[in-house]
Every structure is written in structure tokens, then in C-alpha cells.
Structure 1
Amino acid sequence: MLESNITTTADAQQRYIKSYYRLHARLYDFTRWAFLFGRIALMKALPFASGQPLDILEVGCGTGFNLKRLALRYPNATLVGVDVSEDMLSQTARKLAGIANKIYLLEQAYGKEKPINKKFDVILFSYSLSMINPQWKEVLEQAAANLKEGGVVAIVDFHNTRAPLLWRWLRGHNVRIGGHLYHALQTMFTPLTSEIHTAYKGLWEYFIFVGRCKQPVADR
């Protein structure tokens, strides 16, 4: 059984992610389809028409699974993908070759220490927040600060499990699971979409959340 690899500092988290995906980047798309559920549903839940000239940021963009679909869904959008893993971004660049949107890929962490000085209509996290430990709350606070008025955060991620072996296995891969993200999102944002789903007959739960800041932009 894997020992817990939940990181306790931002620097350790970034080192872990770089090392982990140096090994996993090329295989990622061939394996993650079996358990990263809800990604398409999250993008369909975005409250914007397809022709709008949106500014979209994905934090932890991985291999570009979401960015490619967002580019096709919103052809007039400007897309920014942020990831600390050079290997994952290399996969993203290959996947997005030939797409006409303005797309910018940034190899860096996201948060208060490395803010992006731009406002966005959509800030998306897809199975990334549960791996951003321990600074996930600071990252959400930075996302709130980076939203335009009327903008939304959009998150799909693991929620919880009653299976001890799965819980330990996820922690062995630096995935924190236990309902903390969903609770924090309900506190920080006004939900437009807020759903909890089960996978494999209840082996685990994942959530889909789209929401706007509760605090007016002028006060942030």
C-alpha cells in the first residue's frame, strides 16, 4: 500500500507535481479517462454563449484535454493554460497545434505569490485543486481576485470515498479527498451549478461546481 504523499508546503507540492508528471505525462490521456469523470459536463455547464469573446484560464491544464474542447466550444475566446509541469505542457502544445484561438501556455504555479495580472470570465480547475496541497484555499482566493464581474469559477474534482483502500491510494498520489473543496466552494462562491455524483456504484464521489463570487468585485 502506498504511503501518504500529501505535500505540506507549496514548494514541495510543485516539486512533486513536476516529478510525478515527468513519468505520467505521455500516458495521461490513455489512463485518466477511466476515472476523471465530469469534465465534459463541467464545460457544458458554463453560462456563456459559444460566440462570446471570453477570457478563460485553466489552472493545472495538464495535457490540454479541456483547453482543446474549450477552444472549439468558444472559438472567439482567449485561453490561458497554467501548469508547473513542463512535460504536461509539451503534450498540451501538441494537442492544440492548428487551433485558431489565442492560446497562451505558462509554466508556473498559480496563486498569490505568482499572480496573473489579468481578469477572466472563466477560471477552471479540473482535478487539480485536490492535488494543490496545502495552498488550495489561497489558490481559490486568487481565482476570486482574478475574476471579471460576472465571471465564474468552474471546478470538477474528487469529493469523497467510503473505501479506505482507495482513500489511501489517492493520498499516495498527493490527492486529498474528504469533502473539503466542495464545502469551501459553497462558502466562497454563489453556486450556479452544484452537483455531487457517484462513480462505479458509489466507490467514490466527484463534484461539479460553477459559481460566482459572493463578494462584489468592487470590494475585493
Structure 2
Amino acid sequence: MNIIELQRAIGTKPDGIWGKNSRDALLNTFTNPAAPPLSAAQVKTFATRLGVSVKQLQAVASVESSGGGYDSKGRPKILFERHKFHKFTGGRFSVTPFSNATPGGYNENSWDKLVGAIVTGSVDAAFMSCSWGKFQVLGEYWDDFGFASPFALAHSLVANEAAHYEMLCMYVEHFRLQDEMAAISANADSCRAFAKAYNGANYMAIPPGYHVKIAKAFAAP
């Protein structure tokens, strides 16, 4: 996808010039403050699909994105991974706020970084470099999950909360993490396998560790 194609997708003038109008159209396209929440019946359906209990699914959901899939403006939560953009573009735009060989800058506005990355013309790389939604799934998996583009993966999360759970299911199924997820319990050690597979080898880097957070969430009333 190039800038003109993205402009068409977000309903703004397809002139290939990314300015304020295009930025505003992008943010508007990703805003849905009335996104329907997930019902109890849907939670059960997703849990059954993954072969886990509702409590195990909810434990993961409560840890990821602090339990919510949308920010205060009604947009899917995102985290721009500058080292991913650096990788996908061969470092051609480093060092900038949105491109760096090393991870970091997570306290800065991810939407601004996404826009900055789009301006370079590397639209697919920009959307691939974000972790999207309630379960923070990277846009780089768009093809694995059957989406037409990284933008399509990202935009699917605007519709409703169920789309976020669908994304989690696609991730767990693609990487065959059903057994690891089904092992989640109040015992932190039982959560290690899922934590490592889902959060990465550095799952213990931020105390008390991703596995401990999941165990505590599972144990919560």
C-alpha cells in the first residue's frame, strides 16, 4: 500500500501528499467511541474455540493493555515499535522518533510515530510496526492471518471488541499456543510457557514478570 492507496482507504483526497487533512482522516477512520463491548456469551465462545476456560482467557485479557482495547478517544490501542520499522525499512530512516535499531521510546505518542512513518511512504512497514488492540498483536502478521494488508489488520479492530478477541484467537491458533494457554493457573510457573511464547523471551524483564501478572489476574475474584 502506498500513500495514495491509504488516502483512498480513509476517504481523503488521493493526492499522494500526506498533510494535516490526511492525518485527521486517518485518526477519524480509526475512531469509534461507540464500539460494542464483548458479551458474556461471546467470551465463552472464544474460550471454547481456544480450548481454555473463560477465566484463563480473561486473565490474559486483563493483563494485556490494562484490560482495555481502546484508548480514551475510542481508537484501538497501539504501541509503535521503532525497532520493527527500522528492520522493515533497512534502517533508511534511522535515527528518528519512529525508526531506531534499538527498542524504546514507549512513553511517546504512538499515533504520532505512526503518522511520521507513513510520511516516509513506507505505509505497509508503518502499520506492520505497531502492536494493535487489546492483545497488542503486531501488524506484521497481516498475511499470516489472511488480511489484505497491514492496514486491513489494524482497521479490523475499529468495529467492536469482539474483533480484538478474534485477533487473539488467530494469533494463538497460528502459533499453536492452545496448550500453553490452557495451562494458565494461579501458579506463576504454570504461566511461564504462555508468557514466553506470547510476550517474548524478555517476559521477566519488567518486575514481577508477565507470568506473575497473568497468575495474579487468574487468581483475582
If the length of structure 1 is used for normalisation, what is the TM-score? 0.27
Report which structure shows greater RCO (CA 8 Å, sep ≥6).
1
| Larger Cα-atom Rg | 2
If the length of structure 2 is used for normalisation, what is the TM-score? 0.27
Structure with greater helix share of residues: 2
Structure with greater strand share of residues: 1
